[in-house]
């Protein structure tokens, strides 16, 4: 259990102005809101903070800061006022024990016990657990301390060692005993414990149903607990309807976000995927609230039988995606496997922590089979490259074609619309230079093949 009275490094309680009446234990008759607020601040300075950006009190529970959903701060203010007004009489005691008086005390205390969103979960390598805080730089579990500003915890505290035999057996079964893939997933799982996103990589677990993809997702989600969130796949794929910014707002805070069950033929919302994995600030808002910006801490793990389509295949997209094949389907599906694995949660969490240490020491080691599966996926998705090969002549600077005729040909071939800007960007990324002939805009080094 953490030291509940350790001095927090959150914004320190601010003293009241010198001209404010000092409430002294020696003068209990002076029952004023200012005085009671001072007692409140002294008594709870290490246990309560008011977050102005959230509009809520946070309370230290010994392992993490929790949003006060039961009006504990207000009740504490009423208790102090009730205690200090014992020597009062008549209207004075009624006033001191009124709800309005307590609300005034609570409101005064906010400024002296303030915090902002920037005070919470600042260190991306600290992980809150029910048994203390894990420093992911070392893997060491230590006592929780309010100065760390941690607001989330995992489901369990980690075991001393990665004792999880059924989990190990499951991974060998689902991945065909491929030690390199298992190590990669262990590293990525450990990376998901942190609040950093420098790898800028998402995982897509693919393969036929019943082969462990969902089990892997669900176990990680369960263990990360308050650090994890699920999202609908529609938040990451194209839609005929406008997307609401609340889809992004729900991604503020988690370190792991999962989605599954992709529909056949659905295409990635490539602009959004780039936004979510690019490491830039995200602008979002909750329903009927103002917009806000945040830095993403989450990693994305998708699972599905069908791989979403890509319209733009470039090096940036290749860096962002890792296709992980779950290739082995067990003869007998154990429908209780997920629940059985949750019994090994402490050992699995330690396995993940070991993966975080391995990742920091050696980098994210992408096995050849994952690189090959990813390259195959991109080759299948490279509609633009197929169009170039089948519909265009290239390789001669004397060739020229107008932008309009090229784009119309591509749209007929791909059966999908594309903006002129994106189309031109694709051509330029393949080495074709814009070139104007008279009033016509076009590209040099390419022409449409003559129809027989």
Q: How distant, in Å, are the alpha carbons of 198, 262, 279, 280, 298 from that of 276? A: 12, 18, 7, 8, 9
Question: What are the start-end ranges of the H helices in 50-89?
Answer: 72-84
Bridge partners, residue 302, by sequence: 204, 259
CA–CA gap between residue 143 and residue 130 (Å, rounded) = 10
Q: What is the pLDDT of residues 80-113, one digit of tens each?
A: 999 989 888 888 889 999 999 999 999 999 999 9
Q: What is the pLDDT of residues 217-228, one digit of tens each?
A: 999 999 999 999
Q: What is the pLDDT of residues 112-169, one digit of tens each?
A: 999 988 899 999 999 999 999 999 999 999 999 999 999 999 999 999 999 999 999 9
CA–CA gap between residue 195 and residue 124 (Å, rounded) = 4
Chain-centroid distance, C-alpha 279: 11
pLDDT exceeds 70 at position 18: no
| Cβ neighbour number for residue 145 with a 10 Å cutoff | 20
- Contact predicate 344/300, CB 8 Å: no
CA–CA gap between residue 13 and residue 52 (Å, rounded) = 14
Residue boundaries of the structural domains of the chain? 33-118, 165-380, 382-448
CA–CA gap between residue 321 and residue 240 (Å, rounded) = 24
pLDDT number for residue 25: 44
Instruction: Read off the DSSP letter of residue 268.
Output: B
> Band of the pLDDT at 29, cuts 50, 70, 90?
low
Greater pLDDT, 298 or 293? 298
Q: What is the pLDDT of residues 33-63, one digit of tens each?
A: 999 999 999 999 999 999 998 899 999 999 9
CA–CA gap between residue 149 and residue 172 (Å, rounded) = 38
pLDDT exceeds 90 at position 417: no
| Cβ neighbour number for residue 404 with a 10 Å cutoff | 12
CA–CA gap between residue 72 and residue 247 (Å, rounded) = 31
State which H helix or E strand residue 202 sits in.
strand 202-206
User: Which CATH superfamily groups domain 165-380?
Assistant: P-loop containing nucleotide triphosphate hydrolases (3.40.50.300)
Taking domain 382-448, whether its CATH number is 1.10.150.530 is answered by: no
> Band of the pLDDT at 7, cuts 50, 70, 90?
very low
CA–CA gap between residue 339 and residue 167 (Å, rounded) = 11
Q: Tokens standing for 181?
A: 């893939």
């Amino acid at each position: 259990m953490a030291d509940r009275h350790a001095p927090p490094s959150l914004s320190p309680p601010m003293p009241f102005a010198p001209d404010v009446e000092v409430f002294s234990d020696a003068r209990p008759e002076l029952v004023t809101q200012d005085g009671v607020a001072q007692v409140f601040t002294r008594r709870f300075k290490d246990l309560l903070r008011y977050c102005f950006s959230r509009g809520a009190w946070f309370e230290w529970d010994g392992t993490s800061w929790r949003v006060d959903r039961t009006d504990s701060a207000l009740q504490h203010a009423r208790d102090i006022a009730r205690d200090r007004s014992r020597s009062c009489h008549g209207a004075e005691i009624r006033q001191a024990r009124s709800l309005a008086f307590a609300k005034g005390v609570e409101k005064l205390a906010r400024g002296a016990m303030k915090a902002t969103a920037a005070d919470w979960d600042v260190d991306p390598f600290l992980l809150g657990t029910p048994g203390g805080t894990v420093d992911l730089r070392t893997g060491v579990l230590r006592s929780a301390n309010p100065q760390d500003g941690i607001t989330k915890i995992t489901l369990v505290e980690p075991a001393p060692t990665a004792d999880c035999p059924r989990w190990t057996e499951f991974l060998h079964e689902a991945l065909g005993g491929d030690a390199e893939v298992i190590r990669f997933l262990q590293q990525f799982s450990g990376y998901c414990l942190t609040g950093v996103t420098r790898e800028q990589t998402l995982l897509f677990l693919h393969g036929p149903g019943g082969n462990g993809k969902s089990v892997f997702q669900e176990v990680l989600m369960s263990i990360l607990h308050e650090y994890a969130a699920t999202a609908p796949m529609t938040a990451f794929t194209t839609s005929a309807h406008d997307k609401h910014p609340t889809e992004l707002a729900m991604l503020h805070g988690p370190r792991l976000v999962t989605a599954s069950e992709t529909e056949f033929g659905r295409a990635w919302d490539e602009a959004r995927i780039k936004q979510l994995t690019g490491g830039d600030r995200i602008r979002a808002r909750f329903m009927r609230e103002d917009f806000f910006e945040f830095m993403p801490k989450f990693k994305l793990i998708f699972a599905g039988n069908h791989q979403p389509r890509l319209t733009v295949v470039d090096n940036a997209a290749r860096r962002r995606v890792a296709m992980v094949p779950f290739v082995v389907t067990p003869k007998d599906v154990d429908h209780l496997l997920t629940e059985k694995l949750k019994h090994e949660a402490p050992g699995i969490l330690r396995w993940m922590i070991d993966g975080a240490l391995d990742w920091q020491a050696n980098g994210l080691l992408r096995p050849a089979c994952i690189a090959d599966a990813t390259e195959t996926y991109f080759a299948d998705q490279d509609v633009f490259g197929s169009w170039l090969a089948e519909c265009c002549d290239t390789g001669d600077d004397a060739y020229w074609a107008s932008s309009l005729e090229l784009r119309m040909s591509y749209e007929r071939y791909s059966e999908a619309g594309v903006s002129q800007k994106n189309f031109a960007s694709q051509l330029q990324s393949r080495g074709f230079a814009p070139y104007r002939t008279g009033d016509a805009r076009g590209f040099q080094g390419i022409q449409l093949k003559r129809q027989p």
